[in-house]
Structure 1
Amino acid sequence: MEFDLSWILLGVPVVFALGWLASRLDLRQLRIENRQAPKAYFKGLNYLLNEQQDEAIDAFIEAVQRDPDTSELHFALGNLFRRRGEYERAVRVHEHLLSRADLSRADRDRAQHALSLDFLKAGLLDRAEDALRKLEGTRYEEQAWLTLLTLHERARDWQQAADTARRLQGAGQVDFSARLAHYLCEQAADALNKKKDPVAAEGLLRQAIECAAAAARPRIQLAGLLTGRNDWALAFDQLASLEQHAPQAIPLVASELVRIGQASGQQAQARALLERSYAATPSIDVADALVQAETASGVPAQVAREGYVRHMTQEPSLIAAARWLSQEPFAQDGAHPVVQRSVEHAARPLARYRCAACGFEAQGYFWQCPGCQAWESFPPKRIEEL
C-alpha cells in the first residue's frame, strides 16, 4: 500500500492550530485563576507590610472564609494571632488545620510545630511538652528537643534535661558535655541537700568531672563536699586541679584555697598557686587572697596589705583601694572613716558580677543566670575588671 504524503502536509497545520488553541486555553485558565485569587489575601499582606495587624487579621479571616481549604492562609492567620498574644485563637486555627484529612504530611508537621509554640507562649507547659513530643521523626525534631530541654530546665527536672541533652549530643550538632556536667551538679546538690545522701552526691560530681574535664563547677562543688567531712587534703587537690583544667575559675575560689591550704598544711602550695594565677591574669580576688595568705603566715598586717597597693599599680581599682583603707589605722583628724565609707560606697557596684548574655548583675556568682537562664554566662571577674 502506497503512503500518501499529502496527509502529512495537511496534518501539520492542523497540529499547529491545535497546539496554539491549547496554549490559549492554558493562558485563559491562568488568567481566570489569577482573577479568582482572594483579593482579601493581598489586602491582608498589604496591611501586614504596613504594620496594621488588626486590619491584616480581619483581611485574613475574610480570605479564609472565602477559601477554607488554603492552608497557607491558616498558617498566616495563626502566626498573627500568636504574635498579638491571642493564643487561644492561634490554637484553634492550628488545631483546625490538624483536623483536616487532606492536609499534606509536611503541612501537618508544620501545624504541629506551630501548635507547640502556641502552648509554649501561652504558658501551658504540659500541653506544649505533649505537642513537642509528637514532632519526633519530623524535620522539626531537633528544634523540639531544644525546646524540651528549656522546659525541663525551667521545671528543674534535671534527669529529663540530661536525657534530652544526650539525645541532642547524639545527633552530632552541638557538644552538650558542659551542660550535662551542670545537670549532674544540680542533681548532686539535690542529693546532698534534699535527700541527705553525700555518697550519691559525690558519685554524681565525679561523673560530672568525667563528663566535662574542663568544667570548673564539679571540682569546686566536690571540694565543698569534701571539706564538709574534713577531708582537707582531698579538697585542696580538687581546687588545685583547677590550675590545669579551668584556670579562669581560680579567682572564684582564691580565698577558699587559702583556708583549705591552712587546714591541710599546704599553705605554701596554696600561696604559690595563687601567685602563678595572679602573674598570668591579675585579679582583685586573687590579690585579696594573697594578702590573707601573707597575714595568716605571720607577715605584719601593714606589710601584707601592700599587696593592694601593688595591685593598684598594675590595675587601678576602687575595690582594692576600699580594702586597703579598711585596714589602715584611723587618722587623728577623723577624716579617714569618711573617706573609707565614700570609697566603699563607690566600689560596691563594681564588685558585682555581670551576665555577658543579658547584663543581669549580682553580688554573688551564678552558674546559671537568674535573668536569662544561660549557663556560665557570668565571667569570673568583677565588673570593675571587665
Structure 2
Amino acid sequence: MIRVGIIGVGTVGESVVKILNKNRDIISARAGKEIVVAKGAVRNLGRKRGVDIPLTDDPYEIIEDDSIDIIVELMGGVDEAYKVVKKALENKKAVVTANKALLAYHRYELQEIAGGIPFEFEASVAGGIPIIKALREGLSANHIEAIKGIMNGTCNFILTKMDKEGADFGPTLKEAQELGYAEADPTFDIEGYDAAHKLLILASIAYGIDAKPEDILIEGITKISSLDFEFAREFGYAIKLLAIAKKNGNEVELRVHPVLVPKEEMIAKVDGVMNGISVIGDFVGETMYYGPGAGGDATASAVISNIIDIARGGKCSPMLGFKRPLETGMTLAASENISSKYYLRISVLDRPGVLADIAQILGENSISVESMLQKPQSKTTANLLLSTHVCLEKEIQKALERIRAKDYVKAEPVMIRVEERQ
C-alpha cells in the first residue's frame, strides 16, 4: 500500500481524493499497489470539504509522519511551499507537485536536494496534458528546436471571444470572471506570468537552461483591442498569447507575449479555455499536444499519474531530464536580439505627412513595411495598422521610442510580434 499526504486540499486536492476513490480498481491495477490518501493539510479546518479524510492545519505533521510515503504539494505560492517541499525531501519522502511558481524559482535547488528521491510535477504545466513526460521521455532522442504553447486558458478564452464575437477586452474579462475562468484579481494570468512560469519549466527539460521569470520577456494581453483582430482577420492571422522557446545555436530565446500567428497553423486553432503546445524536434519534426490546461479533475489526473509512476518503481526519470549537464552549455538569448515580424497600431492625427514620417522613422531603423491599413477613429484622428518585414527587437523598440515622442501620436502605440514558421 502507498500512503499519500496532501498539503493543500482545495479544488485539485479534493479531485485527487475523488479520483483515487472512484477509479480505485484501475489505479491499483496500474500501480501494482493500493493508493490511499492518509491525511490532508489545510489552512482552515473550519471550512467544509468535499472529501472525508483526516485533516490537520500543520503540514509538517504530515511530513514527519513515517507512515506516509508520498507528499502531494498543492498549497500554491513560492516561499512556504519551498520550505514544505524541501523538508519533505530531506525526510526522504517522494514529492508530487502542481506548483508552477515554486518550480519557476526553485526547480534546480529542489533537483539537487531530491537527488535520487522521486520528485514529479506533470501537473505544473498545462494541467491534464502530459507534456512533461513527452519532453523528458518521449522526445528525449531529439534536440528541441522550438516550443510554442498556449498555456493559459484564461487568456485564450478572452482572445477567442474577442476574435469570434468582436468583443472588447474589458467586458470579456468580466465574463471570464463570472464563468470562473479568471480570478477576481486576474493579473497573474492576463499579464503573462502564469504562462512564463510554465515555459521556464519546459525550457529546463528541453535545454537544461536555468532562468527566472525576471530574466525573460513577458507581456500580457491587456492592450489588445478589436481593431487588432480586424487587421489579423484581414491578413489571415489569429492572435494568441504564446509561450515561446527557440534554439538558435547555443542560445535559447524564452519569451511570453501576444502573437499574430497564421490561421493555418495548428496552434492558431486552439480556442476557448483549452491549451495547446507545439514541440519541434530535430528528427521527429513537429508534435502537437492539446487538452484542458486547468481545472480540478484535469490537474488531479496528472497528479495521480505521477503517484502511479512512483508506486510502480520508486525512482522516476531525472527530475529535469538530464543525468549530466549538457556539454553545449545553452545560454539565454538577449531579448533585444529577437528576430521577428511586427504589427503596430498607432493612433495619429489625420493630417498630411504623418504616414510618410512614420515610414521614414522605420526605414532609418532598417525596418520595412509589409502591409498597412488605415482606420478612421474620429474626424481628426485615425489608427494606422501596419506590419513589418523581419527585423530585430532592438530596431523596433528604437523606432517606437521616436514615434511615441511625435506630437501627432495621440496614444501609446501597440506592438504585437508576428510568429511565422521559418
TM (normalized to structure 2)?
Answer: 0.24
Looking at CA atoms only, which structure, 1 or 2, has the larger radius of gyration?
1
More contact order relative to length (CA 8 Å, sep ≥ 6): 2
Higher share in strand = 2
Higher share in helix = 1
